[in-house]
């Protein structure tokens, strides 16, 4: 399958490496020429739970080189979705499908506006990775990837093909019809884990060692579940809070993506995670003080990087 992976971050590099190693035709798109050149020279380097591998996959800064892609995998941070897809729109053919496995709310909507909802697939992945350097990642957690069509089940066949390609590459994947439920269920996990790691600098599992972080996690998750219910979204876990704690335990050693961002002094996805819950809460007249507070604290952290404290 001809696949374009947009964004050589942790997930982008992981997917590109696995798919290229399995013999798929993969092009990785970057916006930074220096990094693209470096990865072209050294290859993608993966270490961690799947062992050490070095994989060759071409990296380019020219979206035109992605012409003919059957699948575009959007792996940029949620706040960059619109700017990353825009230059790719002219090269999307009638068969091209665009899949987002990103964290947070709003990616499917942004991609649907840019490319048309009939092209867009959404999903979530329990694969986790940490960037160690350009094109160099640690595969930190493995788990299922769930994908589905946004605008109905008419694309079931090609979704099944993509799932088969992922499975053959060693990325366990299933087609799931309720994309909204998937995205919201993953969102609730990020709501409970990500900002707390960014603020406390703890690893995922350590959040469960302290009554203080457990209390905030519980309140943030309760608020988010109430917003999901008010939106009519059915979550895929019967006990969402128990699921958040299970994921924190299962990924105990992980440095969550938001903490990775704060450590590297990058913008975080707080607006698309807890900020999105607070904004919806305001619109729906539901109180979300804990999500509002977490959003303001992480915003302050990212706004004060240059203060050097």
List the catalytic residues.
186
Closest approach, Cβ 125 to ligand PAF, in A, equals 9
What string of H, E and C letters represents the secondary structure of 67-134? CCCCEEEECCCHHHHHHHHHHHHHHCCCCCEEEECCCCCCHHHHHHHHHCHHHEEEEEECCEEEEEEC
* Element spanning 145, H or E: strand 145-149
- Determine if residue 113 is left, alpha or beta; phi over 0 gives left, psi from -120 to 50 gives alpha, anything else beta: alpha
- Is the Cβ of residue 80 or residue 103 nearer to ligand PAF in the bound state? 103
- Is the Cβ of residue 11 or residue 159 nearer to ligand PAF in the bound state? 11
Separation of CA 303 from chain center: 23
Query: If 0-12 CB within 10 Å is exposed, 13-18 middle and 19+ buried, where does residue 90 land?
Result: exposed
Closest approach, Cβ 140 to ligand PAF, in A, equals 8
Closest approach, Cβ 118 to ligand PAF, in A, equals 28
* Element spanning 297, H or E: helix 289-303
Short-list 63, 62, 43, 61, CA closest to 53: 43
- Is the Cβ of residue 260 or residue 288 nearer to ligand PAF in the bound state? 260
Closest approach, Cβ 10 to ligand PAF, in A, equals 9
- Is the Cβ of residue 175 or residue 256 nearer to ligand PAF in the bound state? 256
- Is the Cβ of residue 24 or residue 257 nearer to ligand PAF in the bound state? 257
The tally of CA atoms less than 13 A away on the side-chain side of residue 225 is: 18
Q: Which tokens is 70 given?
A: 């059957």
Secondary structure (DSSP) of 14-29: HHHHHHHHTT-EEEEE
Beta partners for 145? Answer: 125, 173
- Is the Cβ of residue 96 or residue 130 nearer to ligand PAF in the bound state? 130
Q: Which residues of 189-201 are buried (b: 16+ CB within 10 A; e: fewer)?
A: bbbbbbbbbbbee
Short-list 251, 225, 223, CA closest to 238: 225
Which spans of this chain sit near ligand PAF (rule: CB under 6 A)? 103, 128, 189-190, 193-194, 204, 247, 251, 254, 256-257
């Amino acid at each position: 399958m001809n696949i374009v992976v947009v964004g050589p971050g942790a997930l982008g590099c992981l997917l590109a490496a696995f798919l290229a190693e399995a013999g798929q035709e993969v092009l990785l798109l970057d916006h930074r020429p220096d990094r693209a050149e470096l990865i072209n020279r050294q290859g993608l380097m993966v270490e961690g739970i799947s062992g050490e591998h070095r994989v060759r996959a071409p990296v380019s800064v020219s979206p035109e080189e992605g012409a003919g892609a059957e699948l575009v995998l959007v792996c940029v941070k949620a706040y960059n979705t619109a700017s990353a897809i825009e230059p790719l729109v002219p090269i999307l053919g009638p068969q091209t499908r665009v899949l987002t496995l990103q964290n947070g709310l709003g990616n499917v909507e942004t991609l649907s506006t840019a490319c048309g909802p009939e092209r867009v697939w959404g999903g979530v992945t329990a694969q986790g990775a940490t960037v160690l350097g350009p094109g160099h990642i640690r595969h930190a957690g493995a788990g299922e990837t769930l994908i589905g069509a946004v605008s109905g089940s008419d694309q079931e066949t090609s979704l099944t093909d993509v799932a088969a390609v992922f499975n053959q590459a060693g990325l366990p994947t299933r087609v799931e019809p309720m994309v909204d439920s998937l995205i919201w269920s993953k969102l609730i996990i990020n709501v409970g884990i990500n900002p707390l790691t960014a603020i406390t600098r703890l690893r995922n599992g350590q959040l469960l060692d302290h009554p203080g972080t457990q209390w905030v996690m519980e309140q943030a998750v309760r608020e988010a579940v109430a917003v999901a219910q008010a939106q009519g979204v059915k979550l895929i876990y019967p006990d969402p809070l128990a699921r958040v704690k299970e994921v924190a335990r299962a990924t105990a050693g992980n440095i969550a993506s938001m903490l990775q961002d704060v450590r590297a002094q990058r913008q975080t996805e707080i607006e698309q995670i807890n900020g999105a819950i607070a904004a919806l809460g305001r619109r729906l007249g539901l109180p979300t003080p804990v999500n509002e507070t977490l959003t303001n604290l992480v915003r302050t952290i990212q706004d004060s990087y240059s203060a050097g404290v």
